[in-house]
Amino acid sequence: MYLIVMLTLFMVHNSVAQEDYQKTVNILKEQKLSVTRQEKEALKFEIAAISKRLEKGEITQEAADTLKMEAAEKRALNIEDRIAIIDNKIALLERNNGEIKELDTLNYKFAFQIGFGDDDGDDAKLFGIRLNENQNRREPMYDRRTYSDLVVAVGLNNAIVEGQSLNDSPYKIGGSRFFEMGWQWRTRVFKNTNFLRFNYGFSFQFNGLKPKDNQYLVSLENGQSELQEFDYELDKSKFRMDNLVFPIHFEFGPSKLKTTDNTMRYSLKNQFRVGIGSYGGFNLGTRQKLKYNLDGDNVKDKLKRSYNTNDLIYGLSAYAGVDGVLFYVKYDLNPIFKDAVVEQRNISLGLRFDL
């Protein structure tokens, strides 16, 4: 019985090992197919870049034909060499029936050492060669269409009052500011060009307004909110709205194509770009801060109320600039206060940084 059990376990072990070995061979054969596809894609973009240079008059037709021929020869050699490497791996596996401890689906390692003397490996460093290839690393995505950025914006904030110009705003232009921070994704719209991109994400907006003439915001019994003069001399009067919004933009602008044997990337470094879009979201909260002196004591009031502000936020936004430094403007289409007799809409102007 003991002998039968041992023989059974041995046969099961060999069967599992054979399956693993065959799985490894199949993966390597699939890699051979992807090599040709990658190199052909890279050649296509190189040919397109050469054709653009020819259209712009940067090179002659003869030079363009020569560059195209050189690119085709390079890619053909790349295919030949990369497939030869994979064929050698397959041959090594088949010759040893998959029984190589250093070689499996995730880790491939050759070690050739010629050394003498101590066992610390110093002689091996002088007289030997060691080649390590770790296949556990993810193969880089050849064509990456989506990128992401941290978005930070800061600048001046104010409100446009219905029937009045911005100069007549009841809020201080220099003292009213906004801050925005969020995350965005940029996806290339067309497959073979990066001139148009679709940007989307989320942002937290903090829009501050500082009333003029010693005024502060008051909620009335009829549901209205209006500015009234404060009873004491105010050192500070500030009203702030905190929003969560989801911006979407169509972004236009050139980019630089960078290709290697394994990757193709579009870079916006030092490139001019313009974005036009909109946003929509929710009002997370409103608050008012008052600072004043009362009988020799410094008083700070922090009031968190709804002030009859709109719960839904939506508007238009645009930006333009070079690299990650952009001129930025946004305008709320929704009025700040619900059912207001005179509607006010928030407007912001500043700088945006895509990090």
Q: What's the number of domains the chain is made of?
A: 3
Residue 301 and residue 201 in one domain? yes
Rounded CA gap, 289 and 235, in Å? 11
- Reported as a pLDDT band with limits 50, 70 and 90, residue 119 is very low
Residue 192 and residue 326 in one domain? yes
Residue 197 and residue 297 in one domain? yes
Residue 239 and residue 286 in one domain? yes
- Reported as a pLDDT band with limits 50, 70 and 90, residue 336 is very high
The answer to whether 235 and 293 are in contact (CB under 8 A) is yes
Q: What is the pLDDT of residue 140?
A: 55
pLDDT in tens, 151-198: 999 999 999 998 888 888 899 988 899 999 999 999 999 877 889 999
Q: Which of 255-264, 299-308, 328-337, 339-348 has the lowest mean pLDDT?
A: 255-264
Residue 101 or residue 95, greater confidence: 95
Rounded CA gap, 8 and 258, in Å? 56
Residue 236 and residue 88 in one domain? no
Residue 135 and residue 150 in one domain? no
The closest alpha carbon to 224, from 346, 347, 348, 335, belongs to 335
pLDDT in tens, 23-81: 777 777 777 778 888 888 888 888 888 898 888 888 888 888 888 888 888 888 888 88
* Contacts of 198 by beta carbon, 8 Å cutoff, 6+ apart: 186, 187, 189, 248, 249, 250, 251
Residue 128 and residue 206 in one domain? no
Return the bridge partners of 33, or none: none
User: What percentage of the chain reaches a pLDDT higher than 70?
Assistant: 81
Residue 302 and residue 205 in one domain? yes
Residue 141 or residue 13, greater confidence: 141
* Angle, in degrees to the nearest 10, between helices 2-55 and 61-95: 180
User: Where are the strands (E) in 134-214, listed by range?
Assistant: 146-161, 177-188, 196-209
Residue 219 and residue 302 in one domain? yes
Rounded mean pLDDT of 226-250?
93
The whole domain housing 68 covers 2-105
Residue 29 and residue 133 in one domain? no
Q: What is the pLDDT of residue 18?
A: 55
User: What percentage of the chain reaches a pLDDT higher than 90?
Assistant: 37
Q: What is the pLDDT of residue 302?
A: 87
Cα of 255 vs its chain's centroid, Å: 16
Q: Among 121, 139, 157, where does a domain finish? A: 139
Rounded CA gap, 264 and 116, in Å? 45
Residue 283 and residue 263 in one domain? yes
Residue 248 or residue 217, greater confidence: 248
Residue 134 and residue 150 in one domain? no
Return the bridge partners of 293, or none: 298
